[in-house]
Amino acid sequence: MNNSYIHKKTKALQFPSLLFVMLLLISSCETDDAQTVATFTDLVIADEFDTEGAPNSSIWTYDIGRGPNGDGWGNQELQYYTDRTENVKVENGFLLITAKEESFEGATYTSARLKTQGLFEQKYGRFEARIRLPYGKGLWPAFWLLGNDCDQNIWPQCGEIDVMEYLGDSPTKVFGSVHGPGYSAGEAETKEYSLPNDRFDTGFHVFGIEWGPEYINYYVDGNLYNQITPDDVSGEWVFDHPFYIIMNVAVGGSFPGSPNEETTFPQTMLVDYVRVYKNNRLN
């Protein structure tokens, strides 16, 4: 693995407040009828990944395996998720989620999927992470939220908020989406963000949302590029209850397709920090 990422990190916020930037940019944002949003300034949880070894067990747990039905988590993904240090660890101030090509428990790839389910869940707020993404056909990293009632209200009724999804063979683009009843999978409400004159696999970028009653705003490096409201979705708005965080690197599946002969392994998603803020009037 290329160790060029190892450096002394500056833990101060890398970008201005998302809300402040949003107010500056809102007049030029491509979305129409932008909402008046709350100010999310109260830091609720932050993982700066400063302790070597396994991720903080008071924040993170894991999904293990090929999915509840053994079908690649409903997406025909090819990896087996583990909690092994080969696939997930904290090192030099970063969380590393590594996809490997290897035979393991009947799968041909391994990776990791971390989640805060049962440990941290929140309704509304600002959720952000600073990440460097991997590269290669068939890689599908994501930073996303899932409704905490999915055991009772089966997906997509519980709701899904994709803060960032990325296809490894399109290194200049990410997607921000929501899934709910009537607008899920290929019918999700989504928008693409293209990085000008740069790539997401060569440096770190901050991906975030600001989520309040009847709106979710999407940002890359403080740039507001998407807003989703109840008027934008073709079904029920289900984003009014707590959600938990998921971070993973999938391999293959219905969205990215399979790796090809040019995809090299291992491939690692590096996470500098994860931070969540709230507004006490809303939370």
Contact 249, 136 (CB under 8 A): no
Residue 13 in any domain: the answer is no
Mind listing the pLDDT tens digit for each residue in 229-250? 999 999 999 999 999 999 999 9
Using DSSP bridges, classify how beta strands 61-63 and 113-115 pair: parallel, antiparallel or unpaired. antiparallel
Residue 208 in any domain: the answer is yes
Residue 186 in any domain: the answer is yes
Over 50: is that where the pLDDT of 11 sits?
no
Contact 85, 266 (CB under 8 A): no
Residue 76 in any domain: the answer is yes
Domain enclosing residue 179, as ranges: 43-278
Residue 9 in any domain: the answer is no
pTM for the structure as a whole:
0.89
> So what's the pLDDT on residue 104?
98
> So what's the pLDDT on residue 283?
81
Over 50: is that where the pLDDT of 191 sits?
yes
Q: pLDDT above 90 covers what percent of the chain? A: 84
Residue 127 in any domain: the answer is yes
Prior bond of 171 cis (ω within 30°): no
Closest listed residue to residue 167, CA positions, set 197, 185, 142: 142
Over 70: is that where the pLDDT of 1 sits?
no
Q: What average pLDDT does this structure show over 128-134?
A: 98
Residue 176 in any domain: the answer is yes
Q: Which amino acid is at 183?
A: Y
Residue 71 in any domain: the answer is yes
Mind listing the pLDDT tens digit for each residue in 57-108? 999 999 999 999 999 999 999 999 999 999 999 999 999 999 999 999 999 9
Q: What is the total count of domains within the chain?
A: 1
Catalytic residue numbers, as ranges? 160, 165
Over 60: is that where the pLDDT of 259 sits?
yes
Q: What is the CATH number of the domain that holds 64?
A: 2.60.120.200
Banded model confidence at residue 280, pLDDT cuts 50, 70, 90: confident
CA distance 217 to 211: 6
> So what's the pLDDT on residue 221?
97
DSSP for 235-278?
S----SS-EEEEEEEEES-TTT----TT--S-EEEEEEEEEEEE
Unique residue bearing structure tokens 């109260």: 42
